[in-house]
Chains A and B, each alone.
Chain A
Amino acid sequence: MALLPENLSFSRKVLPIIAIGALVLAVIFIAMGLPDREQSEPEKEPPRAIGELANGARVAGSGIVEPSSELIEVGTALSGLVTDLMVQPGQFVEKGQPLFTVDTRAIRARAAETQAAITEARAALGEARASMNEAEAAIAEARTAEQTAARQLALYRGVDDPAAVSRSEVIRAEGEAASARDRRRLAETRLQQARARVDQANARIQSAQSQAGTTRTELSRATVRAPIAGEILAVNIRPGEFLSNQGGGNSAPFITMGETRPLHIRVDIDEEQAGRLAMGQPATVSPRGAADNQVKASFVRAEPQVVPKRQLTNTASERVDVRVLQIIYALPAEARDAFRVGQQVDAFIPATDGAQGSSGE
Chain B
Amino acid sequence: MLWIAIRMLTGDKQKFYGLVFGIAFSTLLITQQLTIFINLIERGASAVYSEPTADVWVMDPVSRTPDVNFPMPATALDKVRGVPGVEWAVPHLRAGASVRTSDGDLEGVSIVGVDDATLIGLPKRLIEGDISVLSQPDSVIIDDVGAGKLFENGADPIGARLELNDQRAVIRGIADAIPTFTSQVTLYTKYSQALNYVPGTRNRMTFVIANAADGITHEELASRIEEQTGLRARTREEFAQDGIDFIIENTGIPLNFGITVALGFIVGVAIVGLTFSLFIRDNIKQFGALKAIGVTNAKIRKMVTVQAGLVGLIGYGLGILATVAFIWGFSGNPDFKGFYIPWQIPLISCAAVFVILGLTGWLSLRTVLKTEPAAVFR
Contact = CB atoms under 8 A, between A and B. Distances in A.
Q: Do chains A and B touch in the complex (CB under 8 A)?
A: yes
Nearest to A12: B10
Nearest to B344: A30
A322 B328 contact: no
Contact of B317 (A20, A270, A319): A20
A337 interface: no
Interface in B111-130: 115-120, 124
Contact of A60 (B81, B118, B220): B81
Nearest to A290: B117
A105 interface: no
B124 A36 contact: yes
B97 to A, nearest CB: 15
B372 interface: no
Interface in A96-129: none
A288 B228 contact: no
Interface residues of A, number: 70
Interface in B51-90: 52-55, 73-75, 77-90
B274 interface: no
B115 A34 contact: no
A60 B85 CA distance: 13
Given A43-B119, A322-B73, A356 B78 contact: no
A42 B209 CA distance: 12
B333 interface: no
A232 interface: no
B377 interface: no
B74 A309 contact: yes
A315 B204 contact: yes
B43 to A, nearest CB: 12
A54 interface: yes
Interface in A166-210: none
Contacts of B195: 314-315
B49 interface: yes
A35 B49 CA distance: 9
Contacts of B87: 48, 54
B213 A19 contact: no
Interface stretch (A21-29, A79-87, A153-161, A233-241): A21-29
Contact of B53 (A23, A42, A309): A42
Contact of B320 (A22, A54, A56, A359): A22
Contacts of B81: 47, 49, 60, 346, 348
A31 B192 CA distance: 40
A26 B323 CA distance: 9
A61 B75 CA distance: 8
Contact of B321 (A25, A35, A40): A25
Interface residues of B, number: 74
Interface string B244-287: 00000000000000000000000000000000000000000000
B84 A55 contact: yes
Contacts of B220: 360
A40 to B, nearest CB: 5
A19 B317 contact: yes
A213 interface: no
Contacts of A22: 317-318, 320-321, 324
B102 interface: no
Contacts of B82: 58-60, 273, 276, 348, 351
Contacts of B17: 11
Interface string B291-334: 00000000000000000001001111110110110011000000
Contacts of A273: 78-79, 82
A349 B328 CA distance: 54
A11 B54 CA distance: 53
A92 B228 CA distance: 46
B328 A29 contact: yes
A145 B151 CA distance: 125
A57 B228 CA distance: 11
Given A26-B324, A47-B117, 20 more contacts: A16-B313, A16-B314, A18-B321, A19-B315, A19-B317, A23-B316, A23-B317, A29-B328, A30-B343, A30-B346, A44-B119, A46-B90, A54-B213, A62-B77, A291-B118, A309-B75, A321-B73, A359-B224, A359-B228, A360-B223
Q: Which 3 A-B pairs have the closest CB atoms?
A: A19-B317, A60-B81, A360-B224
7 contacts: A21-B317, A35-B49, A39-B54, A60-B78, A268-B78, A270-B75, A314-B195
